[in-house]
Chain A
Amino acid sequence: EVQLVESGGGLVQPGGSLRLSCAASGFTFSSFEVNWVRQAPGKGLEWISYISGSGSPLFYADSVKGRFTISRDNAKNSVDLQMNNLRAEDTAVYYCARGYRGYESDAFDIWGQGTMVTVSS
């Protein structure tokens, strides 16, 4: 079964750090782009980061640029999102999502179940 499973969410204080992971299975992981999309409580979807199948290029939304870093390990079929200097407005469910084409994907066909990040003192 093709699936993505996120982990690593939790409660963190403002200014703190957290590392999320997205584990993939059921497909040739290195052939597909992966994105992170978040959803604040009661709000809509917000794309925040992209990584190609090879690991480069990388792209970020302005809201997280300079604070978040996306990376992948194709040998382990995983993508990580390192989140530093967290703010209250980063509180959200974080989803990883696969680009359906493998390159220059315009949509996301596989989504994980999400992991909740709460930034609060």
Chain B
Amino acid sequence: YDLTQPPSVSVYPGQTATISCSGDRLGDKFASWYQQRPGQSPVLLIYRDDKRPSGIPERFSGSNSGNTATLTIIETQALDEADYYCQTWDTPTYVFGSGTRVTVL
């Protein structure tokens, strides 16, 4: 099972960034999103399509329908510059997307 993400997304500070993740009937599965800043471990941002773990800012939101899951970052800040990975559970294995580098211009 493959998940496809755009290699890069650029956004101006204060604007909205959207990152797509495509997979066959992905909407029938759960999608999660992780943020990985340079030199750091991944951090869970979104699970079960649209749930935020405690401590994750409301600026981050997720959706999943059809063949595409989407991560949306509103009011983007410089500290949001990082790599973002989608992930799904293709029972019993897990699959990560190829990753999207978000650049804050």
A residues sitting closer than 8 Å to B (CB atoms) are 35, 37, 44-47, 50, 57, 59, 61, 95, 97, 100, 105-109, 111-114
| CB-defined contacts of B92 to chain A, threshold 8 Å | 50, 57, 59
Q: Are B47 and A100 in contact (CB under 8 A)?
A: yes
Q: List 18 A-B contacts (CB under 8 A).
A: A37-B42, A44-B98, A44-B99, A45-B85, A45-B96, A45-B99, A47-B95, A50-B92, A59-B93, A97-B42, A100-B47, A105-B89, A106-B47, A106-B48, A107-B48, A108-B34, A108-B44, A112-B41
Interface residues on B, range: 20 to 34
Contact B41 A106 (CB under 8 A): no
Number of A-B contacts (CB under 8 A): 63
Task: List the A side residues contacting B34 at CB < 8 Å.
Answer: 45, 108
Give B75-103 interface residues, CB cut-off 8 Å to A. 83, 85, 87-89, 92-99
Is B41 within 8 A of A95, CB to CB?
yes
A1 to B48, CA, bound (A): 24
A105: nearest chain-B partner, CB-CB: B89
Which residues of B are interface residues toward A (Cβ below 8 A)?
A: 29-30, 32, 34, 36, 41-44, 47-48, 53, 83, 85, 87-89, 92-99
**Complex alpha-carbon distance, A50 and B87, angstroms:** 15
* Chain B proximity of A43: nearest CB distance (Å): 8
Further pairs besides A50-B94, A107-B30: 15, Cβ < 8 Å: A37-B42, A45-B34, A45-B42, A45-B96, A46-B96, A47-B95, A50-B93, A59-B93, A61-B93, A100-B44, A106-B29, A106-B30, A106-B48, A107-B47, A111-B43
